[in-house]
Structures are given as structure tokens and as C-alpha cells.
Structure 1
Amino acid sequence: MTRILVSEVGPRDGLQSIDRVMPLEAKKAWIAAEAAAGVREIEVGSFVPPSLLPQMADTTELVAFAKTIPGLNVVALVPNAKGAARAVEAGVDAMSIPFSMSETHSIKNVRKDHPAMLLEIEEAARIAHAGGKHFAVGLATAFGCTIEGAVPQDTVVRLAEKALEAGADEVGLSDTTGYADPAQVRRLVQAVRRVAGDRLTTLHLHNTRGLGLANAVAGLEVGITTLDASLGGLGGCPFAPGASGNIVTEDLVLMLNSMGFDTGIDLEKLLEVRKIVAEALPGEPLYGFTPDAGPMLDYAERIAG
């Protein structure tokens, strides 16, 4: 049975995209409940200035809390080398830095063009490795940009190689804007693999146009073993207009478990976590079909066999 890692990004990607700030205790309850359901990796926040994203102001406290949970890989996003230093000090297990393949988006998102961003990645990698931390680069807008439109495949391959040369332990492909389709996912994964090899394992997909799960399956078909998702489909990018909707964790877990993949996640327990988020963010839209429809009648047989 193939093991697939479902990495929960809701406490970071989901919460940075809404105006309200979820209370710290509710975030802790969310993280603890997901870990109890079998989720093995959670991106708990990001080390960005609170003035830019007040939703992430308590990331240091969340890291400290999450590190008390046995078996949980605690991840945070960092925008730059300064954020990497804060992440090391906080004690994360791993960190990732977004590197937009669209230069226009990169400038809007982190105020750096590609050459400047590669220098930042090199310094962040040095800091992470000095602290003994795993350092990943998320290749954002890899499938297209709401500002520039199409992003050439050759650009993504070239910048992926440069990110690895700058010190990334791995690279992941991010459909920041929800532009990907399954055929494109297969092509791009295979193309980047030619320079990254087994240092490409992760897809970060959005369901903006309803193709999230189809794109996930396409990734699985070409050897992807880690899929990011957000509980209730919370998420998007504040600097990419119209880019809403991460893959819904509940729907992804149902699909993977039903297909015979080993996620280690108990779906029934996962569905209960949704109540914590709903109570902490009353009125905030939560998405997903599985929470409403429930699992299939033969779901237990499917996951057993």
C-alpha cells in the first residue's frame, strides 16, 4: 500500500486569506485534533511581520505548542532569511519559502525579482541548515499567474534547478492561482523531475476552478507522494487576485483512503475537526462535499481491502 502524506496547510494558508484572526486557543485545538486524527504534518503558520499578516502573529506560540505533540512534523512558511532565522529560533522541524515563477507576482508578494529571490533563498537555506532544519522551496504560480497568465514550463524547470543549487533540500510545485489541469500537472512534474529527481515530492493545489482533486490524481500517477490540503478548503493568496480555494482536506482524505492509499488519517475523526474551525470562525464559508454527504456505505470495506 503506497503511503501518501497529506500535509495540512489550513492554519497558515487558510487563515492568512481571511480578515478575521482565529483565537490562539482555537488554533491549538484545531492542530491537536487533526494530529489526533492521524495527520502527520501541519503547517502551523508563517514568520511574516504581524503588521502585514496579523493572522500569523502567534506563530511562535503555535510552534511551541505543536512541538509537544508526539509524531507531528511541525512546518512553517518563511518569506525571507529573517523569517528563516525566526523559524529556527522557534524550533520548527521544517520550513518552506515561496519562490514565485511569475516575476510580477514575486515582486508583489515579497518585493523581490528572481535574482534577488535566489540570493534570499541561498541565505535562508544557510540559516536553516545551520540550525539543522529541513528547507524546502515552494515554486509558486508554477502553473500560471493571475497577473502574467501562462508561465513557460522552461522557466519553472530553470528556476527549480537554481533553487536547488541555492541550497533547497527539496522543491514543490504550487498551483497558487488554480490554473492547473491534469495534463499540465503530469507534464510539469515530469519536466521538473529531470532536474530535481526525488527532491520533488509535493504538490500544493487549489480548487479554484474545480480541478483540485483531478490534479491530485494526475500528480499521484507521476509519483507525487505529498499533497497539501486545507480543512474546509480555506485558503488562497492575498497577492494573487481571485486565487481562492485550497483542496479540501476532508475530500482529499476520503478519495485517497478509498483508492487504497495509506494516509494514516481517520476520516471520521477528521470530520469532527471541522466543528472547531466553524465555531471559531462563525459565518466563514467552509467547503467540501464529504462533510455533507458523508462517506460511502462501503467505505470501511474499501479502506480495509
Structure 2
Amino acid sequence: MEMRLPQREPADDLPPRITVYEVGPRDGLQNEASIVAPTVKAELIRRLAGAGLGTIETTSFVNPSWVPQLADAAEVLEILGDEGRGPRRPVLVPNERGLDRALEAGVGAIAVFGSATETFAQRNLGRSVAESMAMFRPVVERALAAGLWVRAYVSMCFGDPWEGDVPVTQVVDACRSLMDLGCHELSLGDTIGVATSGHVVRLLDALESAGIGVDRIGVHFHDTYGQALANTLAALRRGVTVVDAAAGGLGGCPYAKSATGNLATEDLVWAMDGAGVETGVDLGALVETSVWLAGELGRPSPSRVVRALTGG
């Protein structure tokens, strides 16, 4: 029997096309307790590319003692060769040492990972928000000088497990500080999944008033409270066209234990296919990839669409 596809009823309040920024190989796997072999990670990236995902964040050059799962970053990129390089294969770098390793590996794009709150900045980076911005400045300057594309993540944009609610003005300040360094794109992180659709629109409005338009913004929602897709739709209706997602709905954050999985790429693609929004992604090939990955990890995929289409 052929795989069920959604009935396509074009939505005139959504953009005609979006970019899916696939974070599964990095953000999706970083919280896995058992170490995934570098050959499996490389195969995952190849399969995702084969399913039509153009932008894939491959790994992170973070200190191996912080995130042991990503200690094999250089090896994964070596296995991939040219498939792991270029402006659409970004890697996360925490500092100049991470940038040095990324440049040695020949990457074409990087991402830095800031915070909108002081507590998370201290727990994740071991320094204040202001100190982390100072740390990122030479990273971004050197990356731009080397011709790399640079993305800025801002975590805890909608709530913090230690500080609670995060004022929109505080988030805007952190975003402006990072974008003022010269980053090309900003990703708004709902690290613990507490955002709601009205909150999303309010933050996007505030960022636009601060000079950061939706054409430079991506959204990154976690599904802790089941709101990731609803929040994504709110952002798309506001004009955002870049959405972070992880194949199979994997993910979390090693420094925020209440964070659960990312928005599943399959769930996003299913919704977009039904709304007539182009993603360039073959849903069937993507589902096959997530089923394969679930087998490698030894547990079912968290994605609702994967489970529905495979009877899992």
C-alpha cells in the first residue's frame, strides 16, 4: 500500500516555500546517552541530503568533555568529505578553539550559541551574557573574514527553567548583541518548549522594531508542551521562512533537563505538504531515514507522523 499523504489544500496565509534547517545530526543526537558511531552519523547526513534537505547542521566542535557524543566531529566530516562542507553544512562552534578546529576541517558555515538569560549563559558557557558576547566577537569576525556563513542561536527566548519568564526586551537585547557582530541569520530558541503562538508573534514584532526583520530569522521550537508546530505556524504567518527541525523529533539540551525533543522534521513536512508550502523534502524518504535511525538507536521515533505512517 502506498504511503498516506495529506490532502493538499493551499493556505494563502503561509509563505509559498520555506527552508527546513535540519538539526538532527547535531542537536538531535547530542543528548543521546549511548555514543553513536561516526559512520552512522555520516550515513544519517547522507540520507537526509538524499531526502531533499538542503541545509543540515552536521556536528559541533565543542569540548568533548562537555558533549561526549560530538567528540568525533572531525572524523564525521572527514568521512563525508565534500558532502560535509559548504555554506549549507554548518557546524556549531562555542569559541575560538572550536573555530580553529572547524577551519581545519574545511567547513563553509558556522553557528554560535548564545543565551538570553544569565543563568543559562553561566551553565552552558561558564560566563555571563556580556562575557559570552565578547567571546563570540573574534569568532564571528574571523569566520566572516574567512568567507564563512555565520548563524547566531539565542537560547531561552521564551522561558528559562531557573529564571522563569524572560522579558521580551531582554531577548531582543541579546539578539541585537549577536546580530551586531555581523551574523547572517538569527535562530530563536524555545529551549524548554514553553512558547505559545501569541508570545512568538510578540517577539517577532519586537525584533522587527529593533531592526531585525523576519527575513533574517529562523525559529527553533521544542515540543515539550506539544506547541512546536503551532508556534511554527504562527511564525510562518508572521513572515518567517526558516524553520529548525530534527528528523524523528530527536533532541534535547544537556544543560536544560526539562528540554525534550525538537519539532520533528516529518511533522513539519506533513503540515507544509498539506498546506501547499514547498519544502523540497521527500516525506517518504525522510520517514525511511528516521525509521532507520530509530533502529540504530534502539527505540521508536518520537515523531507522530513517523509513527502514524509506519504503524509504530
| TM-score normalised by length of structure 2 | 0.89
**Alignment partner of 1:215: what SS?**
helix
Decide whether the 8 Å contact of 2:141 with 2:181 is kept in 1: no
Equivalent residue number for residue 13 of structure 1: 27
Q: Structure 1 residues 199, 158: closer, same or farther in 2, change over 3 A? A: farther
1:221 CA drift (Å): 0.7
**Alignment partner of 2:103: what SS?**
helix
Counterparts of 1:77 and 1:24, CA distance in 2 = 17
1:162-241 maps to which residues of 2 (within 5 A)?
Answer: 162-194=177-209, 195-198=211-214, 200-241=216-257
**Alignment partner of 2:243: what SS?**
strand
Equivalent residue number for residue 301 of structure 1: none
Equivalent residue number for residue 247 of structure 1: 263
1:19-98 maps to which residues of 2 (within 5 A)?
Answer: 19-69=33-83, 73-98=88-113
Decide whether the 8 Å contact of 1:176 with 1:206 is kept in 2: yes
1:31 CA drift (Å): 0.8
Alignment partner of 1:272 out of 270, 281, 288: 288
Equivalent residue number for residue 8 of structure 2: none
Alignment partner of 1:108 out of 123, 126, 138: 123
Alignment partner of 2:167 out of 152, 155, 161: 152
Decide whether the 8 Å contact of 1:26 with 1:276 is kept in 2: no
Q: Deviations over 1:163-213 (max 9, x none)?
A: 122232222211011110011111111211222125632001100110000
> What is the aligned length?
294
Counterparts of 1:205 and 1:138, CA distance in 2 = 12
Counterpart of 2:45 in structure 1: which amino acid? I
Counterpart of 1:8 in structure 2: which amino acid? E
Equivalent residue number for residue 297 of structure 2: 281
**Alignment partner of 2:147: what SS?**
coil
Counterpart of 1:252 in structure 2: which amino acid? L
Counterparts of 1:229 and 1:136, CA distance in 2 = 15
1:225 CA drift (Å): 0.8
Counterparts of 2:226 and 2:143, CA distance in 1 = 36
Greater shift, 137-146 or 190-199, is seen at 190-199
Counterpart of 1:267 in structure 2: which amino acid? L
**Alignment partner of 1:132: what SS?**
coil
Decide whether the 8 Å contact of 2:87 with 2:148 is kept in 1: no
RMSD: 1.8
Unaligned ranges ≥5, structure 2: 1-14
Counterpart of 1:133 in structure 2: which amino acid? L
Counterpart of 2:275 in structure 1: which amino acid? M
Q: Percent identity?
A: 37
Counterpart of 1:250 in structure 2: which amino acid? E
Counterparts of 2:87 and 2:34, CA distance in 1 = 27
Greater shift, 187-196 or 146-155, is seen at 187-196
Counterparts of 2:291 and 2:87, CA distance in 1 = 21
1:68 CA drift (Å): 2.6
Equivalent residue number for residue 132 of structure 1: 147
Q: Structure 1 residues 63, 223: closer, same or farther in 2, change over 3 A? A: farther
Unaligned ranges ≥5, structure 1: 296-305
Counterpart of 2:22 in structure 1: which amino acid? E
Decide whether the 8 Å contact of 2:221 with 2:232 is kept in 1: yes
Decide whether the 8 Å contact of 1:40 with 1:72 is kept in 2: no
1:275 CA drift (Å): 2.7
